[in-house]
Amino acid sequence: MSNTTKSLIKSTLILGAAGVIVKIVGALYRIVLADFISLEGMSYYQQAFPVYSALLIISTVGLPIAISKLVSERVTTGDYKGAYAVFKTSRAFLVLVGVITSVAMFCLAGPITRLQALPGGQYSLMALAPALFFVSVMCAYRGYFQGLQNMKPTALSQIIEQFVKVGAGLALAYFLLKWTGRMELGAMGALLGISISEAAALLYTMGAYGRQKRQMTTDMMAAYKHRLSWAEVKPLLGKVLVLALPITVAGLVMPIVSFVDSVIIPRSLFSIGYADTAVRSMYGTLSGGVITIINLAAIVSQALQMSVVPAISEAIKLKDNERVRANVLHGIKFAFLEGVPVTAAFFIFASPIFSFLYPSSTPEQHALATGLLMTMCSVAVFLPFMQTMTGVLQGIGKQNLPPIALAVGAVVKVGLSLFLMSIPQINIYGAVIGTVMCYVIAAVMNYLYVRKYTGVRIKWGEHLLKPIAATAVMAAVAYLVYSLIAPYSNAVGVIVCAVVGLLVYFFMLVLVKAVNERELEQIRGGKKLTRVLKKIHVWR
C-alpha cells in the first residue's frame, strides 16, 4: 500500500471517528434538551434549523472541498505561493459569505417565522445567525488543512463544537427558561450555545493555523506574505466557485426540503383545524423527538459510507473489478445487517424507547410519537442502504447521481405530504409517509445506478433473509426480557433488552452464517471472538 493511500485511509478514519462522535453527542444533546425545554419547546428550536442548514450549505459543502483540492494540487508541486493564494482568496470570500448569510438570517427572522406560521421562533433564528459567520470563516481553514492532508484540526474542531454546544447550550437553555418561564427563550438559549460553540471551534482552528505558520520555512513564509492583486484573485475565485457550485447545489436538496416541511406541516395542521398549542406540540414531537431517534440509525451507516468510498476508489484505480464487486457486496450486506434489526426495534419497542428517552413527554405526545415512530421505522433500513449506495457511487466516480435520486424523492415527498396532510384523519402522519417514500425512492434509484455501473445485484437470501431470520429470534427474546423487567422499571427493561437483543442478534448472525470468519476478524477484537466461537463449535 502506497504512502498516499495510507494517508488517505488515515485521514478518512480520523474524520470518520470524529463524525461518529459528533453525531452521537449531537443526538444525545437533543434528547436531553427536549427534557429541559419540552417537546413543544423543541418546535421553536427546530424552526431555526432548516433555514440555518440551507444557508450553511453555501459555505460548508462545496467550498471546503474546492479549497482542499486546489491547495493539494499546488502543495504537491511545491507551489506554496499558489496554495496560500487559494487559501487567502477563499477566506476573504467566505468572510463575505458569512456576513451576508448571518445578517440575512437575523434580519429576516420575523418574515421567515411568519411564513412558517409559528410566531415566536424568530428568537431562535436570531440566536443562531452569528454561527453562520463563524462556520463560514472556519471552512476556509478546514479546507486548507484538508488540502495538506492534515485532518486533525478539522476533527478536533468538530469535537470542540459539540462539547461546547452541550455545555453552553444546556446552561443557557436552563437559565433562560427558569428566569423567564418562556419556552421560546429556552430554545433561544440552546441556539446561542451553538453560536458560542462555533466561535470556540473557529478560535481553535485559527490557533492551529497560527502554530502551523510558526513552523514554516523561509520560502514558505515569503510565499504566505505575498500580497495578492485583483488580477491574481479573480481567476482563483473563479476556479473555486466552478468546483464548489455543483456540489453546493446538490447539497441544498434536503435542507430545502426540511425548510419546506417547516412551512407546510404547521400550515397544513392549522388548515384542518388544529390550534396553535397542538400544532407546536405535534411539530416538536416529530422534529425534535421522532426524527432524532430515527437519525440515530444513520450514525453507523455514515461511518460505513465513509469507509466504502476510499476502498472502492482504490480498487477502481487498480482496475481490480473483483475487488470493486466484493466491496459493493460488503456495503450492501452491512447496510441490511444494521437496518433490519433497528427497524424491528423501532416498530416493536416504539413506546418503551420513547418513554425511556423522553420521560417528561405528555401522554398525548407519547401516543403520537409511538404512532409516528412505528410508521417511520422502515427509514432505518432505507436510509443506511441509500447512504451506502451513495458511498459506492462516489467511489466509482458517479457522485452526481445520488443528488438526482434524492431530488426525485424530495419532490415526491413534498407532493405526497401536502396531499395526505390535507386529510384530517391522516394529519401529521402524511409528512412521515412522505419522508418514508422519499428515502425508498432515493434508495431504489441509487441501487439501480450501482447495478448499472458495477453489475452487482442484491443477493436476497444472503443480504435480507438471513438478517430477517436473526432479527426474528432477537425480537422474540428481547420482548420476553422486556416483559419480565418492564413492570418494575421501563428504563432498566429497555437497557437490558437492548443488550440481550444485541448479543442474541450477533449470535444468530453467526449461526445462520450471515457473517463469515474473515469478516468477523476484520473488526476490533474479532480474532479473539472467532477463537471463542471455534471452541464452542459454532465454527469449525
State the greatest distance between any 2 C-alpha atoms of the chain, in Å, as a whole number: 75
Predicted pLDDT at 473: 96
Q: From CA 336, how far away is CA 330, in angstroms rounded? A: 10
Distance between alpha carbon 335 and the CA centroid of its chain, in Å? 16
DSSP 343-385: HHHHHHTHHHHHHHH-TT--HHHHHHHHHHHHHHTTHHHHHHH
Do 279 and 266 form a contact (C-beta atoms < 8 A)?
Answer: yes
Residue in this structure with the C-alpha cell 435542507, named with its chain if needed: 255
- φ, ψ for residue 291, nearest 5 deg: -65, -30
What whole-number distance in Å separates Cα of residue 456 and Cα of residue 447?
Answer: 9
Cell of 201: 471551534
Task: Give CA–CA dist 266/474, Å, rounded.
Answer: 39
Model pLDDT, residue 267: 92
Taking the C-alpha atoms of residue 185 and residue 188, their distance in angstroms, rounded to an integer, is 5
Closest CA to 9 of 265, 311, 276: 311
| 413, 434 Cβ separation under 8 angstroms | yes
| Residues 142 and 151: beta-carbon distance below 8 Å | no
Q: What angle do the packed helices 253-271 and 429-454 form, to 10 degrees?
A: 150
Cα 384 to Cα 295, 332, 339, 415, 533: the distances in Å are: 10, 9, 7, 24, 29
Distance between the two ends of the chain, CA-based, in angstroms? 32
The neighbour count for residue 318, using CB atoms within 10 Å, is 11
Q: Is 398 helix (H, G, I), strand (E, B) or coil?
A: coil
> How many residues appear in the chain?
540
How far is CA 513 from each of CA 343, 466, 505, 520, rounded to the nearest angstrom?
21, 8, 12, 11
Q: Which residue carries 480520523 as its cell?
A: 14
Q: Where are the alpha helices (DSSP H) in 422-489?
A: 429-454, 466-485
Under-50 pLDDT residues of the chain: 1-9, 12, 524
- Spatial contact of 414 and 260, defined as CB atoms under 8 Å apart: yes
CA dihedral 458, 462, 463, 464 (to 10 degrees): 110
109-122 per-position pLDDT tens digit: 989 988 888 778 88
**Burial class of residue 37, CB neighbours in 10 A (0-12, 13-18, 19+):** buried
Crossing angle, helix 298-317 and helix 379-395, to 10 degrees? 20
- Residue 188 has a pLDDT of 92
Q: Are 170 and 31 in contact (CB under 8 A)?
A: no
CA Rg value for the chain: 24
For residue 303, give Cα distances in angstroms to 23, 68, 216, 518.
10, 21, 34, 20
CA-CA distance, 470 to 456, in Å (whole number)?
A: 24
Sign of the alpha-carbon dihedral angle for 152, 153, 154, 160: positive
